[in-house]
Amino acid sequence: MPQPLQPFLHDLVSQVAAPTQTWSTPDGQVVPRDDDAAGVTGLLHGDVRLLSGIEVSVDDDPGVPVAHHGRPDGSVVFTSLLRGLDAAYADSGDPRVRLDRTRTVVPGRLTEELVLGSTLDVDVEVRVAVRLTPDATPMELVRVGAPRVAVTPAEDAGHGWTSAGIDVTIAAPGAGWTVADGRVTLSWTLTVPRRSSVAVRWTADVVDPAPVVVAAPPDLTHDRVLLGPEEDQRLGPWLERSVADLAGLTMALPDSPGDVFYAAGAPWYFTLFGRDSLWAARLSLPLGLDVARGTLRTLARLQGRADDPRTGEQPGKIPHELRRNGFQLGGMSLPPLYYGTVDATPLWICLLHDAWRAGLPDDDVIALLPNVEAALDWLTAQTAPDARGGSVEGFVRYVSAGSDGLANQGWKDSDDAVRFADGTYAEGAIALCEVQGYAYEAAVSGAALLDGFDRPGGDELRGWAQGLQERFRASFWCETGSGEDDYPALALDGTGRRVDALTSNIGHLLGTGLLNLEEEWRVARRVGSPALDSGLGLRTMSTDDAAYAPLSYHCGSVWPHDTAIVVDGLTRAGLAEAADGLVEGLLAASVAFDQRLPELWSGEGAPVPYPAACRPQAWSAAAAVVVARRAGVFGGV
Going by pLDDT thresholds of 50, 70 and 90, the confidence category of residue 92 is confident
pLDDT of amino acid 637 = 42
Name the 3-class secondary structure at 632.
Answer: coil
Mean pLDDT of the 183-190 span: 96
Spatial contact of 170 and 74, defined as CB atoms under 8 Å apart: no
Spatial contact of 418 and 425, defined as CB atoms under 8 Å apart: yes
For the chain, the structural domain boundaries read 13-207, 214-630
Going by pLDDT thresholds of 50, 70 and 90, the confidence category of residue 402 is low
Is the pLDDT at 35 greater than 50? The verdict is yes
| CA 279 to mean position of chain CA atoms | 11
Q: pTM (2 decimals)?
A: 0.95
Spatial contact of 261 and 294, defined as CB atoms under 8 Å apart: yes
What CATH number does the domain located at 214-630 have?
1.50.10.10
Query: How far apart are alpha carbons 54 and 467 in whole angstroms?
Result: 60
Mean pLDDT of the 140-161 span: 84
Q: At what angle do helices 560-572 and 274-283 cross, to 10 degrees?
A: 50
Going by pLDDT thresholds of 50, 70 and 90, the confidence category of residue 74 is very high
Spatial contact of 106 and 17, defined as CB atoms under 8 Å apart: yes
**pLDDT single digits (tens) 279-299:** 999 999 999 999 999 999 999
Burial class (CB in 10 A: 0-12, 13-18, 19+), 155: exposed
Query: How far apart are alpha carbons 575 and 526 in whole angstroms?
Result: 13
User: Closest Cα to residue 351, out of 289, 270, 440, 425?
Assistant: 289
pLDDT of amino acid 514 = 98
pLDDT of amino acid 159 = 86
| CA 199 to mean position of chain CA atoms | 36
| CA 170 to mean position of chain CA atoms | 30
Is the pLDDT at 180 greater than 80? The verdict is yes
Going by pLDDT thresholds of 50, 70 and 90, the confidence category of residue 227 is low
Instruction: Give the CATH H-level superfamily of domain 13-207.
Output: Glycoside hydrolase, family 65, N-terminal domain (2.70.98.40)
Query: How far apart are alpha carbons 434 and 96 in whole angstroms?
Result: 60
Q: Which residues of 447-476 are buried (b: 16+ CB within 10 A; e: fewer)?
A: bbbbeeeebebbeebbebbeebbebbeebb
CB atoms under 10 Å from CB of 596, counted, come to: 19
**pLDDT single digits (tens) 589-637:** 999 999 999 999 999 999 999 999 999 999 999 999 999 999 988 864 4
Burial class (CB in 10 A: 0-12, 13-18, 19+), 60: exposed
User: What counts of helices (H) and strands (E) characterise the chain?
Assistant: 13, 26
Spatial contact of 42 and 132, defined as CB atoms under 8 Å apart: no
329 HSE (CA, 13 A, CB side): 15
**pLDDT single digits (tens) 116-146:** 999 999 999 999 999 999 999 999 899 988 8
